[in-house]
Amino acid sequence: MQQITLHPGELYSIVMDMHALSEARIGRIKKAVVSGAYVKAEDEIIVSRSRKRKKKKGWLLDFRRILLTPHVLDDIGDAFWDEFDTHYPFQIGGIETAAIPLVTALTMHGHGKRSKKDVNGFFIRKSRKKDGLMRMIEGVLRRDREIVLVDDLINSGKSFIRQVEVLEGLGHKISAVWTIVRFRDADYYSYFHDKGIRVISLFTLDDFNDELGTENLEKKEREVLAQPYRVLWKFQSKDPSYQYVVPKSDPAIDDERLYVGSDNGTLWALEQRSGEVAWSYKIGMHTKGKGIFSSPALFDGTVYFGGYDGNFYALDAATGKKRWIYFEADWIGSSPAVARDLGIVFVGLEFGLWRKRGGLAAIDAKSGKKIWSMSDMPCYTHSSPCYIEECGQVVVGSNDGCAYLFDARTGVLAWKFEPHAITEKERGVGFSRFDIKESFAYDAKRDLVIFGNRKGELFFVNRKVGTERARFKAEFGFYSTPVIYGDTVLAASLDKNLYCIGLETFEEKWRWNAGARIFATPVVIGGSIYQGANTGRLMELDPETGDEISFLTLSERITNKAVYNPVTKRFFVPTFANEIYCLKKTP
């Protein structure tokens, strides 16, 4: 091969030409962003995420308008490899959907223009696929290479944080995150800096001031959200059912142990200190993937729970040995409620017989003998009963959309609240448009029973007479239990919002948007609200304003509420993948 010798002047000329090409390329990308991705509220309808209202002012960057344009992607590919060429080998990944065309273009670019590099790409789903192979990550993911994560922009960084948590949980190392536009100062992204992850972008917002005007790009700076949680241990039960994205078994705790059900039909007792298994109990035959969705209840040294084998169990909390089993139902997805003053445990029942679909049982907590039961509900009763000690009554909902209030001692029906009529077809299948899936809140001050249904209605019902006092409407259904906080009620909806509603006016005080569906029931701990969501994020919120205070990101959806031990100051956070994370908040 003939050797080519370049004089210093020629080498300088080549370098300058390459620099000019790079500047021209960056200029073209910038022009594409300004002309194609920049959208103003006065030109097009922009709906506020937090309030679902149309913005009259403001702007956004919609990169989907330009990321399928060949010449733009070609320039972006060149700009990316100008930065990362010397860092090869690595693999490229990102989260759906904007990252999908980016990952595709960048891997193709590396292979086609950059010396035929054997670069691989993948993308992360926002939530695990519920059928087929049920994957969270699609594409090729190699063990022997570091990862560069890419996306169109980075603002708070929460999306990238979730990706890092997922990938690090699988044992991978992320070396950099790369975007077209960075919204905040580099110092804001301390999460990545602390992990040694570089944050690289082609532009910052300030780069567009001249083209778009500083007034258009004016933004309110927020404080850096804290992520003050340290994982002490993690437990996962085998064979989680990824296809069931619903609230499953909430953990229950005593002074030393945590008790929780799992999809494979095992009730686990874990040592809170270490996460080690103290004992486990396996229920009988059940529908595959639906073992124990019932949340255990603790009373007088006994743990109570139902199973999809149709049995209701009472186990010794210390040893896990059976105390008694109640056999009447075909399935039990309901969680028990204990009347401690009466020594009675209540649970919803499901039956497979025509015209006998749902009911409620009151069982002696010590002996397991039935005190009374009602089995005339026309649809399945998955809802969990709520015992109202002040009144000696128990209320439960059913898939017929009705709420039933009983005398807790005798089972006499005080009233049935029926806001909607269901069809014969709905009676036949056991489900309706108005399913009541979770439990109830009781507002003693105003004597109101509060609950939500699958239609997205939150009802406020007069406890004495069973009449509707008020109704609040969300965009989609409620699959969580309302929580009373002061003179408000907190209600999480499948429309992605946690609502704070005044109990005097029944009007919305504030809402917080999770960015994904919310199944988990909110919980108030230490004067803050903790809300999990399908983003895999547990958020701490100010109960007065709904403002975000801190957050934790996990790799799987959070569909159940967190539990807190105030003595040890440990949080126990479940995911729908049958995981339990034990966390401690650092100062």
Q: How far is CA 315 from the centre of its chain?
A: 31
How far separated are the first and last CA of the chain, in Å rounded?
65
Round to whole Å and give the CA distance between 395 and 442.
10
Q: What pLDDT does 23 receive? A: 86
Provide the residue count of the chain.
587
Q: What pLDDT does 222 receive? A: 55
Q: What pLDDT does 112 receive? A: 81
H or E stretch at 574: strand 570-574
- Dihedral of alpha carbons 137, 171, 575, 514, sign: negative
Spans in the chain with pLDDT lower than 70: 1-21, 48-57, 113-115, 133, 214-224, 354
For 543-559, b where at least 16 C-beta lie within 10 A, e where not — what string? beebebebbbbbbbbbb
Contacts with 215 (C-beta within 8 Å, 6 or more apart), sequence order: none
Q: What pLDDT does 111 receive? A: 84
Q: What pLDDT does 13 receive? A: 43
Residue 326: HSE in the Cβ half-sphere, 13 Å Cα cutoff = 31
Q: What is the pLDDT of residues 487-529, one digit of tens each?
A: 999 999 999 999 999 999 999 999 999 989 999 999 999 999 9
Q: Which among 555, 525, 556, 558 is positioned nearest to 543, based on CA atoms?
A: 525
Class of residue 506 by CB neighbours under 10 A (exposed 0-12, middle 13-18, buried 19+): middle
Within 398-490, where are the H helices?
424-429
Round to whole Å and give the CA distance between 551 and 585.
11
Neighbours of 273 (CB within 10 A): 13
Q: What pLDDT does 545 receive? A: 96
Q: What pLDDT does 97 receive? A: 86
H or E stretch at 160: helix 158-169
| Token reading at 46 | 């922009």
Q: What pLDDT does 270 receive? A: 98
Q: What pLDDT does 42 receive? A: 79
Q: What is the pLDDT of residues 473-496, one digit of tens each?
A: 999 999 999 999 999 999 999 999
For 514-540, b where at least 16 C-beta lie within 10 A, e where not — what string? bebbbbbbbbbeeeebbbbbbbbbbbb
Round to whole Å and give the CA distance between 111 and 341.
72
Q: Please state, rounded to an integer, the average pLDDT across all residues of the chain.
A: 91
Long-range contacts formed by 538-547: CB under 8 A, 24+ apart: 538/562, 538/573, 539/512, 539/514, 541/498, 541/512, 543/485, 543/486, 543/488, 543/490, 543/500, 545/510, 546/498, 546/500, 546/510, 546/511, 546/512
Residue 269: HSE in the Cβ half-sphere, 13 Å Cα cutoff = 23
- CATH (residue range 37-212): 3.40.50.2020
3-state DSSP call for residue 138? strand
Share of the chain above pLDDT 70, in %: 92
| Token reading at 26 | 């960056």
DSSP string, 359-412: EEEEEETTT--EEEEEEEESS---SPPEEETTTTEEEEE-TTS-EEEEETTT--
Using an 8 Å Cβ cutoff, are 248 and 293 in contact?
yes
- Dihedral of alpha carbons 139, 142, 148, 154, sign: positive
Q: What is the pLDDT of residues 42-100, one digit of tens each?
A: 788 877 665 556 566 678 889 989 998 999 999 999 999 999 999 999 999 999 888 99
Position 344: which residue type? I
Round to whole Å and give the CA distance between 273 and 334.
29
Q: What predicted TM-score, i.e. pTM, was given to this entire model?
A: 0.86
Round to whole Å and give the CA distance between 205 and 218.
9
Contacts with 273 (C-beta within 8 Å, 6 or more apart), sequence order: 256
- Dihedral of alpha carbons 283, 284, 287, 289, sign: positive
Using an 8 Å Cβ cutoff, are 123 and 137 in contact?
yes
Q: Which among 23, 137, 4 is positioned nearest to 82, based on CA atoms?
A: 23
